[in-house]
């Protein structure tokens, strides 16, 4: 169990997930890779289906575009209503002096 301080935060050097994310077994990857053609066909069928709802067709189209061309950059608003403070470690303070 990871150690925590009195405020419930992890103490320095501790991780909430020391083993990291579990690996996906190779057999599972092989099975999923084998289904990629069918998944792509399903997306195309959904996009062109008149029986699918508009939102389903739109979601399928977005998925195809994101996979083929990459997700478009998301703008970040640089305006903040709060004060941002930077806390420098001892080494950084020494370098700054």
Residue 43 resides in a domain: yes
Q: Report how far residue 93's alpha carbon sits from residue 97's, in angstroms, rounded to the nearest whole number.
A: 6
- CB distance 51 to 37 below 8 Å: no
7: β partners: none
Residue 33 resides in a domain: yes
Q: Report how far residue 4's alpha carbon sits from residue 31's, in angstroms, rounded to the nearest whole number.
A: 40
Instruction: Give me the mean pLDDT over the 21-44 stretch.
Output: 96
> What is the residue range of 36's domain?
21-73
Mean pLDDT, rounded, of the chain: 87
Residue 53 resides in a domain: yes
Residue 44 resides in a domain: yes
pLDDT tens column, 40-53: 999 999 999 999 99
Tell whether the model's pLDDT for residue 95 goes beyond 80: no
- Number of structural domains in the chain: 1
């Amino acid at each position: 169990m990871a150690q925590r301080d009195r405020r419930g935060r992890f103490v320095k050097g501790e991780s909430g997930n020391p083993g990291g994310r579990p690996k996906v077994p190779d057999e599972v990857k092989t099975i999923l890779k084998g289904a990629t053609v069918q998944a792509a066909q399903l997306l195309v069928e959904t996009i062109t289906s008149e029986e699918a709802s508009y939102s389903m067709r739109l979601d399928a189209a977005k998925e195809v575009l994101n996979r083929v061309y990459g997700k478009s950059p998301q703008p970040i608003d640089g305006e903040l209503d709060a004060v941002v403070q930077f806390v420098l470690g001892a080494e950084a303070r020494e370098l700054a002096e």
